[in-house]
Amino acid sequence: MAAQAIRLFRKMDGLFAVYKPQGVHWKHVRDSIESNLLKGTLNSCPPPAPQLAVQFQLLSSGENSSSSKDLALSPTMVPTLADHPLVTGPQFHKVHVGVGHRLDAFSSGVLVLGVGKGNGVVKVCYILYDYTLEGEFGKATDNFTDTGRVIEKTTYNHVTQDKLERVLAMIQGANQKALITYSQVDLRTQEAYELAVRGLLYPLGKSPPILMGLRCIHFNPPHFSLEVQCVNETQKYLRKLIHEVGLELRTCAVCSGVRRTRDGPFKVENALTRQYWTADSIIQAIAHFHKTTLGYLTNHSGKGTQDKY
């Protein structure tokens, strides 16, 4: 392998974030990045200089003044074909890119990936996620999205922003009770009080989806937007949340968009868009979050831990 390609490969060791567009499966994002790393950069490095071998060539009769019965051999150095790219094939055959908390095809936003040692960390991190949910009052579908089969239509003129915020406060209150239950912290201790004041209470181990924060950031009926902070969630759960908000308001609602804006320490402004899914940009992103990666390797394991960010 070329020394340049090896040095480049060693630099790709850590975590980075990309922006997954809506309508694209996360596997296509991963495969595109793996292909770009292999074809566009690692295997595009110049191959090493070919090794030379000694080859003896028979001199022509004009070059030899002795008897024709004598053989005259001339040693020459020629390159061997054993190391030729057409013989050995690509220098790198596989670059494994690990995927963290996945996004389904309907959703968009921050998707954290890992290369090298980052593969052992990206799937075990226990962190907080921020989402922006887009909703629409007035109809219900079979899959809670605006593209599903409509099964019901209702009026929504009675819905106001105050009513919506009261419903959100009720839902968040129920989730706060669940958070206390799954945090496994004695509420009578000073530690529990300090964690609660600082907003650092998190569920330990496995737990159902829990909303850490929920508020309305835009209201223009029939359209509205919610900002959600949660753990252990799925995008299907978030779409169903929009449906349940509609039911609490005596109407129906569907989800028209799910956008992840933060995945632990990785924010949407740190995510690489499609035109930057190259080795140079990925190496810069990994270097930028190198300390974060080291913190994950040190502080996170397969069990749930408190979010340090």
Structure tokens of 163? 């009513």
Q: What is the DSSP letter of 62?
A: G
Contacts of 287 by beta carbon, 8 Å cutoff, 6+ apart = 11, 14
Catalytic annotation present for 104: yes
Q: Are residues 214 and 228 in contact, defined by beta-carbon separation less than 8 angstroms?
A: yes
d(CA 17, CA 23): 18
Which member of 104, 142, 186, 280 is catalytic?
104
DSSP per residue over 227-290, as a string? Answer: EEEEES--HHHHHHHHHHHHHHTTS-EEEEEEEEEEETTEEGGGSBPGGG-SHHHHHHHHHHTH
d(CA 258, CA 246): 16
Structure tokens of 233? 């969630």
Catalytic residues: 104
